């Protein structure tokens, strides 16, 4: 099997894990572990694992002038981004999260236009418009009465915050990713995330009743720490060594399909007309916004 094929499988596996995460993480919160406490477990587990594999990476010293960017990326990518997503997942539903997190490419296009003056074409502009209409439709009209989703509009808004912050993180981290080995960079990003998250999340971690957790909840926590955090970063890092970033990014279209199907099959969520319309708008909008524009001949 070629390295390119392995890279494609790695990117696909990471996307499937993300898709399953919407329902699996939702199962744990808030009855067993509250969202902020879950983030501590996720970041602490990933930090330990990346420090364990860091010796296998080339020895690299961080340039002093890069520490400011690394700290900002750690706060955005491993603190604000994760806290917003998991709190949103507690308040909203798995299908809503699976749909709304895919607007990240649209956010990246918008932020790139603002910060690095990338041109927005008519095609990209239409994609941004359709994607944002779909997101707004879920936020404003996607509310349902559900005991496990106490504030769907706020939860959906937090998913958009998550996508916006993560999009900013991707733009800021782009320079660092090209300069440092993924293991070296990620061990520092997660360490910074752990330090910043500690005072925010400690009270919820201390509330976890470890001795009374069911076995399947231990399994779900392990899946989120080992799978959703550690493995996905490893898989995507490997995929990027063999594939273009745009190819890896294209797998974002698979995530809502996996997330929606898994949520429905497990009986954790259901499709409504507004969810279907919003999903079509978001996916088509992301496709237009991220599709390369052919130059005029």
What pLDDT, in 10s, does the model give residues 187-218?
A: 999 999 999 999 999 999 999 999 999 999 99
Inform me whether the pLDDT recorded for 295 exceeds 70.
Answer: no
Looking at every residue in the chain, the average pLDDT score rounds to 85
pLDDT in tens, 22-38: 899 988 988 899 999 99
Lowest mean pLDDT among 87-101, 129-143, 228-242: 129-143
Confirm whether 45 is domain-assigned. Answer: yes
Residue 295 lies in a domain: no
DSSP category for residue 227: I
Higher per-residue pLDDT: 103 or 183: 183
Give the chain's domain count.
1
pLDDT digits (tens, 9 = 90+) for 243-265: 766 667 667 777 777 888 888 88
- Which domain covers residue 13, as residue numbers? 3-290
Radius of gyration over every alpha carbon of the chain, rounded to an integer in angstroms: 19
Average pLDDT over residues 270-285: 81
What's the rounded mean pLDDT across residues 143-153?
75
Does residue 72 lie within any of the structural domains?
A: yes
Q: Is the dihedral of CA 231, 234, 240, 245 positive or negative?
A: positive
Q: Is residue 100 part of a domain?
A: yes
| For residues 35-61, average pLDDT | 93
- Sign of the torsion angle spanned by Cα atoms 39, 40, 44, 45: negative
In a domain, 158, yes or no: yes
* β-sheet bridge partners, residue 149: 146
In a domain, 296, yes or no: no
Query: Does 85 fall in a domain?
Result: yes
Residue 251 belongs to a domain: yes
Res 94: pLDDT: 86
For residue 269, how many other CB atoms are within 10 A of its CB? 26
Q: Is 90 exceeded by the pLDDT of residue 226? A: yes
Res. 4 pLDDT band, cuts 50 70 90: confident
Tell me the helices (H) and strands (E) count for the chain, helix number first. 14, 0
Angle at 25 between CA 253 and CA 127, to 5 degrees: 25
In which band, very low, low, confident or very high, does the pLDDT at 222 lie, cut at 50, 70 and 90? very high
Does residue 297 surpass a pLDDT of 50? Answer: no
Full-model pTM = 0.81
């Amino acid at each position: 099997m070629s390295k390119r094929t392995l890279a494609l499988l790695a990117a696909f596996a990471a996307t499937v894990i993300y898709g399953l995460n919407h329902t699996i993480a939702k199962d744990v919160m808030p009855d067993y572990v509250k969202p902020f406490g879950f983030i501590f477990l996720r970041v602490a587990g990933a930090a330990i694992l990346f420090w364990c594999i860091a010796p296998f990476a080339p020895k690299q010293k961080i340039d002093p002038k890069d520490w400011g960017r690394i700290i900002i990326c750690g706060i955005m990518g491993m603190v604000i981004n994760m806290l917003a997503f998991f709190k949103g997942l507690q308040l909203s539903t798995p299908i809503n999260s699976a749909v709304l997190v895919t607007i990240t490419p649209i956010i990246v296009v918008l932020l790139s236009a603002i910060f690095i003056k990338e041109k927005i074409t008519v095609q990209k502009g239409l994609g941004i418009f359709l994607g944002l209409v779909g997101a707004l439709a879920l936020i404003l009209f996607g509310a349902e009465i559900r005991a496990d989703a106490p504030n769907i509009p706020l939860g959906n808004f937090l998913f958009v915050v998550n996508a916006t912050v993560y999009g900013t993180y991707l733009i800021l981290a782009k320079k660092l990713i090209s300069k440092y080995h993924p293991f070296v960079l990620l061990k520092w990003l997660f360490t910074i995330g752990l330090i910043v998250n500690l005072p925010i999340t400690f009270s919820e971690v201390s509330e976890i009743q470890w001795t009374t957790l069911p076995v399947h909840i231990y399994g779900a926590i392990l899946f989120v720490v080992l799978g959703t955090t550690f493995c996905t970063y490893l898989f995507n890092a490997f995929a990027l060594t063999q594939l273009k970033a745009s190819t890896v990014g294209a797998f974002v279209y698979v995530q809502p399909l996996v997330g929606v199907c898994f949520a429905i099959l497990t009986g954790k969520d259901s499709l409504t007309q507004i969810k279907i319309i919003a999903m079509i708008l978001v996916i088509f909008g992301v496709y237009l916004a991220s599709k390369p524009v052919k130059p005029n001949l």
